Structure 1
Amino acid sequence: MREKLRVAAYAICVRDGQILLARWLNDGRPEWTLPGGGMEHGEDPHDTVLREVGEETGYRVEVTGLLGVRSVRFPSRGRFGRTVDRHHVGLVYEARVTGGELRFEVGGSTDMAEWHDLDGVPELNRVPLVDFGLRLWRERPVAGRPAG
């Protein structure tokens, strides 16, 4: 079985009771996610989250802390129908907007970005990363991962 590792960095941006989310196009099915994405070879994760938030939302952000790390493994179908053992590692940072204007990404993996009321997040069609990131943001676990 082929193995594939992906390391990414994401931002939790909360202000005035709202969270900034990007809408990811997952095989044509839109789902809300945290702004962020994959590291480029040689790139520092801190720089990754700054770049990705800018690309997906138009905002410049300042990282205010590292909230934690999400590690997930799952099998999927690769090219030629072969099974791929995927391992995604995501660093979740807390960040605050320092400039820029909200705009949508063109030609990327997301098609829009919006501020959403925190109370309304459970009603959104979203990826599990959103709930994980919000749990980190609320609980602030010392070990960088929620208990249980």
Structure 2
Amino acid sequence: MAAYAVCVRDGQILLARSPAADGTREWVLPGGGMEHGEDPYDTVHRELMEETGYRIRVTGFLGVDSRRHLFAGRRLEPATDHHALRLVYEGEVVGGELRPEVDGTTDLAAWQDLDAVPGLARVRLVDVALRLWRERPADGRLEDRPLPRQMNEE
């Protein structure tokens, strides 16, 4: 479980930069994992402060990104079945100063032009969150996601 925020102002989106598995760097949506017992609303506030230095006001709930990944195991180890559930909020910066995270998972926070996002090295969640922000589906679900399988399918 994780919580993220889309913060847009003056045609720019707030992003953080994180190292990818191959050592390159990619842009991510500010946010991250919930601590045990933590409310997602508190998670998004904490994570934004840690990664960007900003305090935000949550202005809306945009939706849920639910993804399942199967990670191959090493040699004789079984594969790992991982389910990522990401809650995406809309946020407005209300205080703090932009700064990089100290001793964390990201190394830079910056405002990026919305028009430049397609050309950035970025994680898929950035695109999903921007679609949620632009389309604002009433049920928090993007239309191109497959519908759930019926319980009685054979």
Superposed pair shares fold, TM > 0.5 = yes
In structure 1, the gaps of 5 or more residues are: 1-6
Pick from 81, 85, 106: which aligns with 1:85?
81
The one-letter code of the counterpart of 1:26 is A
Residue in structure 2 matching 1:97, options 93, 96, 106 = 93
Q: Take 2:91 and 2:27, find their aligned partners in 1: how far apart are those partners?
A: 18
Counterpart in 1 of 2:148?
none
In structure 2, the partner of 1:56 is: 51
2 CA distance for matches of 1:122 and 1:102? 23
Which of 114, 117, 123 is residue 118 of structure 1 equivalent to?
A: 114
Alignment of 1:35-54 (within 5 A): 35-54=30-49
Out of 8, 32, 52, the residue aligned to residue 27 of structure 2 is 32
Which structure has more strand as a fraction of its residues?
1
Deviation of 1:29 (Å): 2.3
Aligned residue in 2 for 1:4: none
Displacement of 1:30 in angstroms is: 1.1
In the TM superposition, residue 66 of structure 1 has moved relative to its aligned partner by 0.4
Q: Which residue of 1 aligns with 2:8?
A: 14
Deviation at residue 77 of structure 1 after TM alignment? 4.0
Alpha-carbon shift at residue 106 of structure 1 (Å): 1.7
The total of aligned residue pairs comes to 142
Q: Distance in 2 between matches of 1:103 and 1:76?
A: 33
After TM superposition, the score normalised by the length of structure 1 is 0.92
For 1:10 and 1:128, locate their aligned partners in 2 and report how far apart those are by CA, in whole Å: 13
Stretches of 4+ aligned residues off by more than 3 angstroms = 77-82
Identical amino acids, percent of aligned pairs: 64
With the length of structure 2 as denominator, give the TM-score of the two structures.
0.89
Matched, 1:108 2:104: yes
Task: Name the CA distance, whole Å, in 1 between partners of 2:62 and 2:73.
Answer: 32
Q: CA RMSD in A?
A: 1.2
Give the secondary-structure state (helix, strand or coil) at the position aligned to 1:110: coil
Letter in 2 for 1:21: L
Any stretches of 5+ residues in structure 2 without a counterpart? Answer: 145-154
